[in-house]
Amino acid sequence: MTTQKAKAQPKKTDMSGPILIRWRFYLIIFFVFCAFAALVGRIGYIQIIEPDNLIRQGDMRSVRAQTLHSARGIISDRNGEPLAVSVPVEAVWADPVAIYKAGGLVDIDRWYALADVLGIARESLVSKIEKNKSRRFIYLQRQVSPAMAKYIRELKLAGVGLKAESRRYYPAGEVSAHLIGVTGIDGHGLEGVERSYDKWLTGEAGKRIIRKDRYGRVVENISLEEREEGKPLELTIDQRLQAIAYRAIKQAVADFRATSGSAVLLDVKTGAVLAMVNAPSYNPNNRADLQSFKMRNRVITDAFEPGSTVKPFVVLAALEEGTADLDTVIDTGNGRMRTGGSWVRDTSKVGKADLTTILQKSSNIGVAKLALDMPLEALLGMYSSVGFGEMSGLNLVGETSGIFPNRRRWSKHEIATFSFGYGLTITPLQLAHAYATLGNFGEYQPIHIIDNNQQDLSRQVIGRDNAKSVLKMLETVTQPGGTATRAAVPGYRVAAKTGTSRKAVAGGYGDEYFAYTAGVAPASNPRVALVVVVNEPQGDNYYGGSVAGPVFSEIMKSALQILNVAPDENKTKSEEQN
């Protein structure tokens, strides 16, 4: 009975399971909803209200711009001979972050091999990488040769790469260095034609914008700006004449232990520059040789007092003004003339002399009297009309215009010395231009180094008959009895004038000299004008006729032969008049 009674009792309910507390559930749901709403709101803000920042951040990580460098234009001479060309080279760069991610400089022997091939001290290379651990790009070496680049690739150093670029090469080397100039490590011109026409030669670089993935693979080409190649430049220079002139000037500087020497050759008929050289020079292919005193183009940067080389223009001024004619005779006395409180002297007594003899014997007194007998404005006007005191227009860096006096009052002695080349300074190029104008029978032709099709800017500044008369007078200077006999060229009639002037120093004049010879040939119908300047020749032989004269003769002889100019020694007077 008891057992049956116990079985009949009902079972109790188990209340130990989880109990739902509604307010807690709703609170959690509320916070989840708020978080979701905040996330949706943030996404909406980023995607709709301010999407640019996210796009910018993504582009910073994936978009890359590649510069497409343009090839620099070739510079060539009038015959197409290359004077400056661009050759392919490579730059070596490093990513220090990538280097240390790959284990750093553990394999030190390979890094030492890299330093050795680049010509860098081993410790210097290691130190450079260690000091830039946080940077993503540094140059290790610029403009390495293809052979060096191949060796570096074979080293397979993590974080080291090669970048294509170009290097300027100058086939003419030191011969045309001052004129052509040189480019810097970034490929832009620093001196000479390379700098003056840098924009023309460089062209415009292009740009390619791409998108890369995390592994550096290109996944999208976004845009492409085509590059514009640099344009070629053809100069009026004849490299054959350039080489001959440089060799002669270099030898003269060595023979006379001179500080420097310069020569410039112009085409009389067109005003084209055929040669422009200086010594000492430098090798533009060797950057270790780039020293400022060697790189100066003295033909256009150095101004000097021209001395006796301006005397033909004093005679021209007198003929043009009418204060003298071909029959004029001037008494130079005993070789000394007092002007104001000073004296004018001749190196040798000339006595009574006509204009031809005054030029042939280079009489200071003769030209001084001519200058004093004419209005000063006539002499100043003659000097100015042939280009003294003016820029040449060649557009070369560093050119100077010299010093052209502009006084309100002139003493007689100042006018006298002004007539034989003291009191003004000109460049060798200006002097050559003046003689080219004389050789062109008084027609002023602007000089140039690049041919163009602009309008004719020539003008007649000297009477043709007077110019021809003075050219005949200058012929006697290179003949027996003249001061420039060593400037003569066998088979050709040469009209030239020598000069020797003391160098100006603080407070007066020093003991150093300029020696120069200027002239044109052939005298019957001049084709080329040449000026040779030797600065500070050493020893007792420092006169223009003996120092610069032989150099003038050597360069002029070769120039006339190369230009295929017929000898004029045996031409008749009737042929000359025609």
Per-residue pLDDT reduced to its tens digit, 369-398:
999 999 999 999 999 999 999 999 898 989
pLDDT at 304 over 80: yes
The model's confidence at residue 87, banded by pLDDT at 50, 70 and 90, is confident
Beta bridge mates, 90:
144, 164
Tokens 């050219």 correspond to what residue? 471
Token couple for 428? 């060798």
Nearest to 353 by CA among 328, 385, 390: 328
Q: What is the DSSP letter of 326?
A: T
Nearest to 557 by CA among 467, 493, 503: 493
pLDDT of residue 9: 53
Q: What is the DSSP letter of 540?
A: S
Whether 166 and 86 have beta carbons less than 8 Å apart is answered as: yes
pLDDT of residue 574: 39
Beta bridge mates, 496:
519
pLDDT of residue 15: 53
The model's confidence at residue 288, banded by pLDDT at 50, 70 and 90, is confident
State the alpha helices, DSSP H only, in 361-478. 364-373, 376-385, 412-419, 428-439, 464-475
Whether 115 and 163 have beta carbons less than 8 Å apart is answered as: no
Q: CB-based contacts of 417: which residues, under 8 Å, 6+ apart?
A: 344, 368, 423
Q: How far is CA 386 from CA 83, 438, 529, in A?
A: 31, 8, 14
pLDDT at 2 over 50: no
Please, is 303 exposed, middle or buried when counting C-beta atoms within 10 Å of its C-beta (0-12, 13-18, 19+)? Answer: middle
The model's confidence at residue 233, banded by pLDDT at 50, 70 and 90, is very high
Compute the average pLDDT of residues 434-460. Answer: 88
- Of 130-139, 271-280, 379-388, 529-538, the range with the lowest mean pLDDT is 130-139
Looking at the chain, the number of H-run helices and the number of E-run strands are: 22, 19
Nearest to 189 by CA among 170, 172, 212: 170
Four-point Cα dihedral 34, 40, 46, 47, nearest 10: -170
pLDDT of residue 569: 65
Please, what sign has the CA dihedral across residues 255, 257, 258, 260? positive
Nearest to 427 by CA among 269, 216, 262: 262
Compute the average pLDDT of residues 463-490. Answer: 93
pLDDT at 571 over 70: no
DSSP-based three-state secondary structure for 252: helix
- Of 11-15, 409-413, 509-513, the range with the lowest mean pLDDT is 11-15
**Residue 19: count of CB within 10 angstroms of its CB:** 6
The model's confidence at residue 1, banded by pLDDT at 50, 70 and 90, is very low
- What share of the chain in percent tops pLDDT 90? 49
Cα gap 262→552, rounded to integer Å: 11
Please, what sign has the CA dihedral across residues 300, 303, 304, 307? positive
Compute the average pLDDT of residues 347-353. Answer: 88
Compute the average pLDDT of residues 489-506. Answer: 88
Q: How far is CA 82 from CA 72, 229, 383, 534, in A?
A: 13, 17, 38, 29
| Residue 359 backbone dihedrals phi, psi, to 5 degrees | -75, -40
How far, rounded to the nearest angstrom, does the alpha carbon of residue 78 sit from its chain's CA centroid? Answer: 18
Cα gap 128→137, rounded to integer Å: 12
How would you label 268-300 residue by residue, b for 16+ Cβ within 10 Å and e otherwise? bbbbbbbbbbbbbbbebbeeeebeeebbbbbbb
Whether 501 and 547 have beta carbons less than 8 Å apart is answered as: no
Token couple for 545? 């006729």
Cα gap 281→260, rounded to integer Å: 9
Across all residues in the chain, what is the average pLDDT? Answer: 87
Please, is 11 exposed, middle or buried when counting C-beta atoms within 10 Å of its C-beta (0-12, 13-18, 19+)? Answer: exposed
The model's confidence at residue 272, banded by pLDDT at 50, 70 and 90, is very high
pLDDT at 360 over 60: yes
| Residue 121 backbone dihedrals phi, psi, to 5 degrees | -60, 135
Nearest to 245 by CA among 259, 266, 269: 266
Cα gap 90→146, rounded to integer Å: 7
The model's confidence at residue 492, banded by pLDDT at 50, 70 and 90, is very high
pLDDT at 578 over 60: no
Q: How far is CA 286 from CA 176, 300, 436, 568, in A?
A: 14, 24, 36, 44
Nearest to 528 by CA among 491, 492, 485, 499: 492
Length of the chain counted residue by residue: 578
**Residues noted as catalytic:** 308
- The model's pLDDT over 448-471, given as tens digits with 9 standing for 90+, comes to 999 876 667 889 999 999 999 999
pLDDT of residue 16: 57
Whether 94 and 129 have beta carbons less than 8 Å apart is answered as: yes
H helix or E strand, kind and range, residue 494: none
Beta bridge mates, 189:
183
Whether 487 and 344 have beta carbons less than 8 Å apart is answered as: no
Whether 319 and 312 have beta carbons less than 8 Å apart is answered as: no
